[in-house]
Amino acid sequence: MWGRTPMVAWMLVACCAGAQGQTTLEVKTTDNATVWPERYEQKVDLKRFPQTTPQESIRSIIKVLKGDRIAYMVAHLVAPKEVDDKLKGNMEAFRQLTAKATPEKNKAMVVQMQELLDDGTWTMRRNLCWATVDGSRDLTLERIGRRWFMHNSPIKRPSSLR
């Protein structure tokens, strides 16, 4: 009976107080896939905003931008290390960063992301994916566990992939 039932055993890996009282919670499944159930007071919603492929992550980014859910994007769709290095767990800094978003900026980003989906060239190597349109600036995505996250700063492609 147990052999037929897919079991995902959750194991608490780390729960520690970070800077400014922000609690960091990282959970891993038995297959070592990292899951952050909540970051910066934003609960993860992988059914509504899936991230199992780079393209799916871009579609989720488009969806959060159209729905004015910038806080969710920063917390769960941008590479966690980039966000944490910048904000250092500070909720006030998180609020200030997400408040900088404007409908105009969101709309422009939606156009760029849609272009990548429609006309982009996608190159994958291990846990990294680069997307570009007409050889212009790369967008880099990184797989962490089973999820793909966007990097704000592109990671340079290896010369063998140029």
CATH number for the domain harbouring residue 67: 3.10.450
- Domain-located, residue 32: no
- Domain-located, residue 148: yes
Torsion of CA 81, 86, 103, 62, to 10 degrees: -10
The kind and range of the H/E element at 65 are: helix 54-66
CA distance 142 to 147: 8
pLDDT top residue among 138 and 46: 46
Number of independent structural domains in the chain: 1
Question: Could you tell me the pTM of the whole model?
Answer: 0.77
**pLDDT higher than 90, residue 77:** yes
pLDDT band (50, 70, 90) for residue 35? low
99: containing domain: 41-161
